[in-house]
């Protein structure tokens, strides 16, 4: 049973420190909000991995929901090919996730150091991955960030799927029954996720499994390019080159999974019936166990959907994938260059804070005779000409999107009115707000994509 208990506060987690019945050992890894240490159960002498999360850091990084989502997901899953969560312990400042210890490392490091696997070895890894991922789907869990780095291998060659921080549960579906948050890792993300129109978690996870299968059998990524926009164009087309030296069964499997059309893409059930997949396949037996978590030790608000709540003084938070999805034909140049202003809408990037952006926009448009209305984090700019019903009249909606703490995108959208006045307004704001150099902004965008 997974439980949460309160612990006495400790300033530092040092080697040899006791955490309830666990004795902490060396650090296995370190991230932005905490670290992972090996631990020994002093009663059974069994090894575990303890993920130590600093509460203040996850609040500062605005990822409290991501951590709670990972815990909520892992407590649902009991499968031999999914990393298991045993306990969640808590102190005033830290959260301690006691996880299954997998001693073989990441599949990524194995492929990077040893190269591609034989077809027999690769099929075994793929069978276990499909077993684990399809089990997650039956429990209503969609991983959404499947990649080599999130597949661990134990010393017997069995795989364990990990890192459910971006996973989705049934409560994250919108009214249309689809997921809408654009997330994942660039080389593994499905084309329908990039299309920004909603997607099924199961079909997008299947695509990512296909990318992993390609890498472990071929030795390199099926879709890759240093230019992120070119990479996404390749993914959307689904034009993958499958080596002729692979067996017909493996080639067919890759082709059917990496189908850019999610409606015709092979399903998990169909994969399990495929003759190539079924060779030597031994289905795993998931365990069934009730789980209890005391949420008082983890005071983070519940999520009801994937729409971020915001107040009137904040920006809409989007990630770099969503920024690309907002741009037609994946052309980002309009965000970073002062190009010809369109008739209805313009977007441009800025390094100013939300507060400074709103203040400068308000000052500029007020001087031009506009009235400013504020609602739900958006601005509505209105100007009327009492002597003429259309000439000089204009209504424009303004919204600021946060890409990172130091990068924002401003969108001006004309509702109705005089086109010439709209262009004057846009030019004035572009000059007053200042668009940073394209190279600087593209560097910031690329950095964020690498961190996702």
Residues classed as catalytic: 145
Q: How far is CA 402 from CA 205, 283, 350, 374, in A?
A: 27, 45, 10, 18
Q: Which of these, 318, 321, 320, 298, lies nearest to 307 by C-alpha position?
A: 318
Nearest CA-CA partner of 448 in 185, 198, 174: 185
> Could you count the other beta carbons within 10 Å of the beta carbon of residue 432?
13
* 51 marked as binding residue: yes
Question: Residue 24 and residue 37: Cα distance in Å, rounded?
Answer: 7
Whether residue 346 contacts residue 431, with contact meaning beta carbons closer than 8 Å, is answered with no
Asked if residue 394 lies in contact with residue 368, where contact means CB atoms within 8 angstroms, the answer is no
Beta strand pairing call for 345-350 and 316-317 = unpaired
Kindly list the distances between the CA atom of residue 84 and the CA atoms of 35, 74, 99, 131, 431, in Å, as whole numbers in the listed order.
Answer: 18, 7, 6, 15, 55
Question: Degrees (nearest 5) of the Cα angle 219, 222, 223?
Answer: 135
Asked if residues 38 and 49 have their Cβ atoms less than 8 Å apart, the reply is yes
The annotation places the binding site at 51
Annotated binding-site residues for ATP read: 51
């Amino acid at each position: 049973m997974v439980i949460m208990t309160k612990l006495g506060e400790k300033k530092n987690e040092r080697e040899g420190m006791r955490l309830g019945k666990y004795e902490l050992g060396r650090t296995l890894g370190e991230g932005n909000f905490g670290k992972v240490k090996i631990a020994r159960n002093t009663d059974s002498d069994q090894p575990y991995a303890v993920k130590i999360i600093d509460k203040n850091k996850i609040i500062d990084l605005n990822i409290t929901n991501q951590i709670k989502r990972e815990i909520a997901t892992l407590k649902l899953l009991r499968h031999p090919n999914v990393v298991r969560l045993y306990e969640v312990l808590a102190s005033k400042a830290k959260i301690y996730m006691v996880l299954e210890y997998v001693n073989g490392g990441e599949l990524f490091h194995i492929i990077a150091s040893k190269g591609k696997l034989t077809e027999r070895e690769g099929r075994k890894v793929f069978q276990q991955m499909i077993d684990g991922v399809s089990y997650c789907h039956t429990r209503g869990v969609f991983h959404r960030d499947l990649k080599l780095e999130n597949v661990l291998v134990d010393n017997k060659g069995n795989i364990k799927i990990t890192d459910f921080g971006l996973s989705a549960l049934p409560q994250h579906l919108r009214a249309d029954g689809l997921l809408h948050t654009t997330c994942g890792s660039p080389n593994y993300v499905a084309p329908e996720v990039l299309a920004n129109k909603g997607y099924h978690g199961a079909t997008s996870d299947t695509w990512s499994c296909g990318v992993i299968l390609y890498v472990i059998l071929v030795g390199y990524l099926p879709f890759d390019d240093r230019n992120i926009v070119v990479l996404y164009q390749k993914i959307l087309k689904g034009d993958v080159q499958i080596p002729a030296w692979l067996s017909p069964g493996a080639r067919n499997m890759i082709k059917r999974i990496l189908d850019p059309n999610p409606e015709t893409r092979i399903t998990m059930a169909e994969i399990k019936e495929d003759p190539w997949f079924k060779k030597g396949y031994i289905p795993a037996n998931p365990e069934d166990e009730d789980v209890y978590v005391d949420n008082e030790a983890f005071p983070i608000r519940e999520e009801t959907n994937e729409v971020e709540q915001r107040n009137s003084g904040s920006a809409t938070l989007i990630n770099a994938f969503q920024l690309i999805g907002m741009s037609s034909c994946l052309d980002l140049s309009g965000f970073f260059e002062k190009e010809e202003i369109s008739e209805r809408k313009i977007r441009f990037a800025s390094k100013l804070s939300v507060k400074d952006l709103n203040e400068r926009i308000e000052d500029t448009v007020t001087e031009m005779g506009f009235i400013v209305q504020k609602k739900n984090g958006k601005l509505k700019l209105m100007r009327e000409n009492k002597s003429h019903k259309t000439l000089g009249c204009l209504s424009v909606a303004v919204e600021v999107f946060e890409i990172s703490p130091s990068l924002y995108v401003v969108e001006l959208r004309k509702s109705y009115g005089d086109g010439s006045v709209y262009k004057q307004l846009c030019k004035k704001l572009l000059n007053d707000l200042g668009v940073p150099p394209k190279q600087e902004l593209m560097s910031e965008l690329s950095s964020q994509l690498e961190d996702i």
